Amino acid sequence: MSEQMIWIGVGFLGQALFSARFIVQWLASERSRQSVIPLAFWWLSVAGGTTLLTYAIWRRDPVFIIGQGTGLFVYARNLMLIRQHRRANEGATTP
C-alpha cells in the first residue's frame, strides 16, 4: 500500500469520526425529545478534528489546517467547561 493511500485512509477516518458526532447528537436528541449535545459529540469532534488536521498538514492545505485547528480550540474549550461544571456540581453536593 502506498503512502498516499494510507494518508487518504487517514483523511477518510477523520471525516468518519467527525461525521459520527452528528449521528450521536441526533440520536441523543431523539431520545430526550429535545436538542442536546452529549459528551461523546465533543470527544468525536476532538478525535475527528485532530485526525483531519493531521491529514490537512500532510496535504499542506492552509485553509483546511486553519479550519480544523480553530475548531479544535472550540471543542477543547467545551470539554473544559463541561469538566469545570461537573466539578462545581460535585462540590455543591458534597457536605
**CA-to-CA separations, 95 to 14, 53, 65, 92, in angstroms, rounded:** 44, 45, 47, 8
Among 87, 92, 8, which residue's Cα sits nearest to residue 51?
8
- At residue 94, does pLDDT exceed 70? no
- Structure pTM? 0.80
Its domain, for residue 56, covers: 3-93
What pLDDT shows up at residue 95? 59
Mean pLDDT of 28-43: 92
pLDDT at 92: 72
In the chain, the number of structural domains is: 1
Q: What are the tens digits of pLDDT across the range 39-86?
A: 999 999 999 999 999 999 999 999 999 999 999 999 999 999 999 999
Q: Is the pLDDT of residue 93 over 80?
A: no
